[in-house]
């Protein structure tokens, strides 16, 4: 059906991801690492490690409480834990600033109590934001671990009269030992390449990541060799983390249900109170920043600068171009893989080992001698966001493509159903649901993304996240919050449209 | 110029091996019988093109067909299940037999074939809205539309009850006409009802077809072992 399309896509993807790295490597040659370079690498690894530990550390009690308690709104809470993945990072940062910033609720309370204030800038703030963004992801990963404890074991534990301590020792701890390394590495790898968070909450010699240093080298110092050296460093760090993650990765648990036939034991007494407190705190921590953005942004909506609307249109355009590009590529790779071309899978995961700014730097170096980079701002943003979201689309489509080929591949071959006809009559109708979900997801990610565009855009080609970050840089926080609401509506609206289209297919 | 010729065919996979070297004439009705795991389906799937032969050749009317993709071979195959796309209507499923793009389908021909298999007026339904027997008829109707001279049946009626299965076999016999039909079965009664000749697949060999009645009257040791006490 799609072996050739898959192979061609893989070659294109490998070229788009590897060519910029190759260009960067050539440019980086002959220049040693300076002290600031090392500092950036140290800070990158430190913040990513702390973020991973804190995110997963907070996720353990939360996932356990969700796994063993049944309460009204539990399903909604689990669904809501998926939302931060779609939430534009800049909006999350804006919300955290509103809660934990100088004028935020937390510091106001501390001042009222005569206690010292906390600063959201620097290492602490970066880690806080990463916990906000990644704890939900870690919680869902761990929750799947809890739900994967076989019912037979739970029945056995019950029949042996296990206390909560023994359930922990014999069931939960071994499960966590298997699941935690994967969760830690996943968050670690994500935080290595985090850009928007560090752009706003980090900075300065003490809190600059490699990703941010690349941006500074290009935007402020125009030191292309330094950017190239940093990019090589970033590739090595990411490649190492993704390689490690691949080694400890477990089979992805798609479609884990919310409920099971044999529920986990729900111990009464103080443990019940503890679980309730954990759930309440987590809900507060995740909801407060969003409510703060809402509260600040609603009045701000009325005073939005006119420049927001072209930026919103640019973001919508980027999303509408990048999502089909990413999903189409992922579909070709997934169908090719399902038909037995094994090497397509590692190629589909290749972008995970890169970063936006590395790809951006490479493309910048390629484009710079030929055209003004600002003119390429939108095309490059489309290309890079599509490439970066392709692995997610691939993971969504791969199981469905596998099932499609297993169930109907032979029948299609027997009837000589192939090419465009197979796409129209078989693939699109049968994969409509995961395709819609993947399209929505990629569109939301592309719309909310603040990465490579910061490298290229000047006055033109500004996307909405970049416009918001500039409003924040000018301390126009109410306008930024208003624009953030527009961005949230755009990202979730695009996701809704895609997902809705996917669900509209006829069920058979 | 035989219809189907398996010329020193060998299928080898890991510790599985099957050899066949025989011919069958157009218009024939051949049962393929043998213990499970012996390679009955493997033989059919190799002829159909889902598995490359390790050695030898598959010929139709003297021309090699083993390099052709499955859909371009002069044959139709009915699988054990998944013979219909559940998201397409019955008529669309049949139309794929005339044109895989569904763009140039003579829908009157589709309706006429539906009538011949006893499914008049059910063309707008989806497969899930049909009974098991009706689904088998729809799949058979599509094979008729394709008008290929070789029909391979990989136990497509296995899930039907005995009476319905007998009815389907009679229908295949009546409709297949001059086509050569190869039918995998594990039920000696099917072979005796439907097939003048039978191929025994056992111990790594698909034996040449022999008259069914004679085979069962004096079964070779491998067949006797398979039939066990249920011999007749």
Residue-by-residue DSSP string for A290-346: HHHHHHHHHHHGGG--TTHHHHHHHHHHHHHHHHHHHHHHHHHHHHHHHTT-TTHHH
Q: Are B150 and B179 in contact (CB under 8 A)?
A: yes
CB nearest A414 (choices: B70, B101, B126): B70
B83 touches chain A (CB under 8 A): yes
Q: Please enumerate in sequence order all residues whose Cβ is within 8 A of that of B21, keeping only pairs 6 or more positions apart, or say none.
A: B6, B7, B8, B9, B56, B208
Q: Does position A314 have pLDDT exceeding 80, yes or no?
A: yes
| CATH code for the domain of A138 | 1.10.3720.10
B94 touches chain A (CB under 8 A): no
Distance of residue A214 Cα from the nearest chain B Cα, in angstroms:
50
Question: Per-residue pLDDT averaged across A482-506, rounded?
Answer: 90
Distance of residue A340 Cα from the nearest chain B Cα, in angstroms:
13
Over B34-90, what HEC string results? CCCCCCHHHHHHHHHCCCCCCEEEEEECCEECCCCCHHHCCEEEECCCCCCCCCCCH
B52 touches chain A (CB under 8 A): no
Based on C-alpha coordinates, what's the Rg of chain B? Answer: 18
Distance of residue A415 Cα from the nearest chain B Cα, in angstroms:
5
Cα A229 to Cα A218, A243, A357, distances in angstroms: 12, 21, 12
Whole-number Å distance between alpha carbons of A168 and A75: 24
Nearest CA in chain B to A427: B87
CA A479 to chain centre: 26
Whole-number Å distance between alpha carbons of B9 and B32: 16
**Which helix (H) or strand (E) element contains residue A136?**
helix A123-147
**pLDDT for res B64:** 95
pTM of the model: 0.84
**pLDDT for res A2:** 63
Based on C-alpha coordinates, what's the Rg of chain A? Answer: 23
A334 inside domain: yes
Distance of residue B96 Cα from the nearest chain A Cα, in angstroms:
7
Whole-number Å distance between alpha carbons of B154 and A106: 71
A508 inside domain: no
A406 touches chain B (CB under 8 A): no
pLDDT band at A252 (very low <50, low <70, confident <90, very high): very low
**pLDDT for res B222:** 86
CB nearest B79 (choices: A410, A425, A429): A410
Contact flag B71-A506 (C-beta cutoff 8 Å): no
Q: Are A435 and A327 in contact (CB under 8 A)?
A: yes
User: What is the sign of the dihedral through the CA atoms of A90, A92, A94 and A100?
Assistant: negative
Q: What is the pLDDT along chain B (232 residues), one digit of tens a residue?
A: 579 999 999 999 888 999 999 999 999 999 999 988 899 999 999 999 999 999 999 999 999 999 999 999 999 999 988 899 999 999 999 999 999 999 999 999 999 999 989 999 999 999 999 998 999 999 999 999 999 999 999 999 988 888 889 999 999 999 898 999 999 998 888 999 999 999 999 999 999 999 999 999 988 888 888 887 554 4
Q: Please enumerate in sequence order all residues whose Cβ is within 8 A of that of B230, keeping only pairs 6 or more positions apart, or say none.
A: B188
B198 touches chain A (CB under 8 A): no
* Inter-chain CB pairs, A–B, below 8 Å: 57
Whole-number Å distance between alpha carbons of A41 and A50: 14
- Residue listed under structure tokens 């990048």: A322
Q: Which CATH architecture has domain B1-74+149-232?
A: 3-Layer(aba) Sandwich (3.40)
CA A3 to chain centre: 29
Which residue from A96, A122, A98 is spatially nearest to A286, judged by alpha carbons? A96
- Residue listed under structure tokens 């071959």: A413
How many other CB atoms sit within 10 Å of the CB of residue A288? 19
A426 touches chain B (CB under 8 A): yes
Task: Count how many domains chain A has.
Answer: 1
CB nearest B101 (choices: A413, A421, A430): A421
**pLDDT for res A249:** 58
Whole-number Å distance between alpha carbons of B69 and B162: 35
Whole-number Å distance between alpha carbons of A17 and A7: 15
Which residue from A93, A55, A131, A71 is spatially nearest to A280, judged by alpha carbons? A71
Which chain A positions have a beta carbon within 8 Å of B48's beta carbon? 414
A4 touches chain B (CB under 8 A): no
B130 touches chain A (CB under 8 A): no
Q: Does position A210 have pLDDT exceeding 60, yes or no?
A: yes
Q: What is the mean pLDDT of chain A?
A: 86
Contact flag A414-B87 (C-beta cutoff 8 Å): no
B97 touches chain A (CB under 8 A): yes
Q: Does position A159 have pLDDT exceeding 90, yes or no?
A: no
B104 touches chain A (CB under 8 A): no
Q: Does position A29 have pLDDT exceeding 80, yes or no?
A: no
Pairing of strands B4-13, B16-24: antiparallel
Mutate to test the interface with B, among A400, A416, A426, A430 (most CBs of B within 10 A): A416
Query: ipTM score here?
Result: 0.86
A28 inside domain: no
Contact flag A416-B79 (C-beta cutoff 8 Å): no
A326 inside domain: yes
Over A71-133, what HEC string results? CCCHHHHHHHCCHHHHCCHHHHHHHHHHHHCCCCHHHHHHHHCCCCCCCCCCHHHHHHHHHHH
Q: Does position A25 have pLDDT exceeding 70, yes or no?
A: yes
Q: Which two tokens stand for residue A18?
A: 């590897």
Distance of residue B128 Cα from the nearest chain A Cα, in angstroms:
7
Angle, to 10 degrees, between the axis of helix A477-503 and the axis of helix A464-473?
160
Q: Does position A483 have pLDDT exceeding 90, yes or no?
A: yes
The DSSP 8-state label assigned to residue A263 in this structure reads P
Whole-number Å distance between alpha carbons of B92 and B163: 29
Residue-number span of the structural domain to which A79 is assigned: 3-23+40-503
B88 touches chain A (CB under 8 A): yes
Q: Please enumerate in sequence order all residues whose Cβ is within 8 A of that of A336, keeping only pairs 6 or more positions apart, or say none.
A: A2, A3, A5, A6, A7, A9, A10, A344
């Amino acid at each position: 059906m799609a072996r050739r399309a898959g192979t061609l896509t893989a070659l294109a993807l490998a070229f788009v991801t590897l060519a910029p790295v190759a260009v960067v490597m050539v440019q980086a040659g002959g220049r040693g690492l300076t002290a600031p370079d090392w500092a950036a690498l140290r800070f990158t690894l430190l913040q990513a490690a702390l973020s991973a530990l804190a995110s997963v550390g907070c996720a353990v009690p939360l996932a356990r409480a969700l796994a063993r308690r049944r309460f009204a709104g539990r399903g909604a809470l689990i669904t809501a834990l998926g939302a931060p993945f779609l939430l534009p990072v800049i909006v999350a940062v804006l919300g955290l600033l509103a809660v934990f910033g100088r004028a935020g609720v937390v510091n106001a309370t501390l001042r009222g109590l005569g206690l010292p204030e906390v600063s959201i800038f620097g290492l602490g703030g970066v880690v806080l934001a990463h916990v906000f963004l990644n704890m939900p992801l870690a919680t869902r990963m761990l929750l799947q671990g809890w739900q994967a404890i076989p019912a037979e074991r739970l029945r056995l534990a019950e029949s042996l009269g296990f206390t909560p301590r023994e359930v922990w020792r014999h069931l939960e701890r071994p499960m966590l030992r298997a699941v935690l390394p994967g969760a830690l590495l996943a968050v670690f790898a994500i935080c290595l390449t985090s850009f928007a968070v560090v752009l706003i909450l980090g900075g300065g010699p003490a809190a600059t990541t490699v990703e941010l240093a690349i941006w500074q080298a290009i935007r402020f110092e125009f030191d292309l060799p330094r950017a190239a050296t940093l990019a090589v460093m970033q590739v090595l760090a990411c490649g190492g983390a993704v390689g490690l993650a691949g080694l400890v990765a477990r089979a992805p648990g798609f479609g884990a249900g919310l409920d099971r036939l044999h529920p986990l034991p729900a111990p009464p007494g103080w443990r019940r109170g503890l679980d309730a407190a954990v759930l309440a705190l987590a809900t507060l921590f995740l909801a407060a920043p969003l409510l703060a953005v809402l509260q600040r942004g609603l009045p701000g909506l009325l005073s939005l600068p006119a420049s927001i609307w072209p930026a919103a249109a640019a973001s919508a355009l980027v999303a509408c171009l990048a999502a089909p590009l990413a999903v189409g590529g992922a579909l070709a790779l997934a169908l090719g893989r399902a038909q037995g071309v094994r090497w397509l899978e590692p190629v589909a995961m290749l972008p995970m080992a890169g970063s936006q700014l590395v790809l951006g730097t490479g493309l910048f170096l390629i484009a710079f001698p030929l055209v003004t980079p600002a003119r390429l701002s939108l095309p490059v943003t489309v290309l890079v966001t599509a490439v970066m979201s392709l692995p997610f689309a691939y993971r969504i489509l791969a199981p469905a493509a596998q099932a499609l080929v297993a169930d109907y591949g032979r029948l299609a071959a027997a009837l000589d159903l192939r090419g465009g006809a197979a796409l129209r009559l078989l693939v699109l109708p049968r994969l409509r649901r995961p395709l819609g979900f993947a399209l929505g997801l990629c569109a939301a990610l592309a719309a909310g993304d603040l990465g490579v565009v910061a490298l290229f855009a000047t006055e033109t080609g500004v996307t909405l996240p970049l416009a918001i970050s500039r409003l924040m840089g000018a301390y126009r926080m109410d306008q930024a919050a208003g624009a953030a609401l527009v961005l949230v509506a755009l990202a979730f609206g695009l996701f809704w449209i895609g997902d809705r289209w996917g669900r509209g297919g006829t069920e058979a | 110029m035989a219809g189907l010729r398996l010329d020193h065919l060998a299928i080898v996979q890991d510790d599985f091996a099957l050899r066949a070297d025989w011919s069958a004439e157009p218009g024939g009705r051949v049962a393929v019988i043998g213990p499970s795991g012996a390679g009955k389906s493997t033989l059919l799937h190799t002829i159909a093109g889902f598995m490359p032969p390790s050695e030898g050749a598959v010929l139709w009317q003297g021309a090699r067909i083993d390099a052709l993709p499955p859909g371009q071979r002069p044959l139709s195959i009915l699988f054990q299940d998944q013979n219909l796309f559940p998201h397409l209507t019955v008529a669309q499923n049949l139309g794929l037999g005339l044109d895989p793009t569904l763009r140039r389908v003579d829908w009157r021909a589709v309706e006429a074939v539906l009538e011949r298999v006893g499914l008049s007026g059910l063309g707008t339904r989806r497969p899930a809205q049909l009974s098991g027997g009706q689904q088998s008829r729809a799949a058979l109707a599509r094979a008729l539309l394709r008008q290929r001279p070789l029909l391979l049946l990989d136990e497509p009626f296995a899930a039907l009850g005995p009476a319905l299965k007998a009815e389907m076999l009679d229908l295949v016999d009546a409709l297949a006409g001059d086509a050569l039909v190869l039918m995998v079965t594990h039920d000696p009664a099917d072979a005796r009802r439907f097939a003048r000749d039978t191929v025994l697949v056992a111990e790594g060999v698909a034996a040449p077809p022999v008259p069914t009645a004679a085979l069962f009257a004096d079964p070779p040791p491998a067949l006797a072992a398979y039939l066990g006490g249920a011999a007749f």
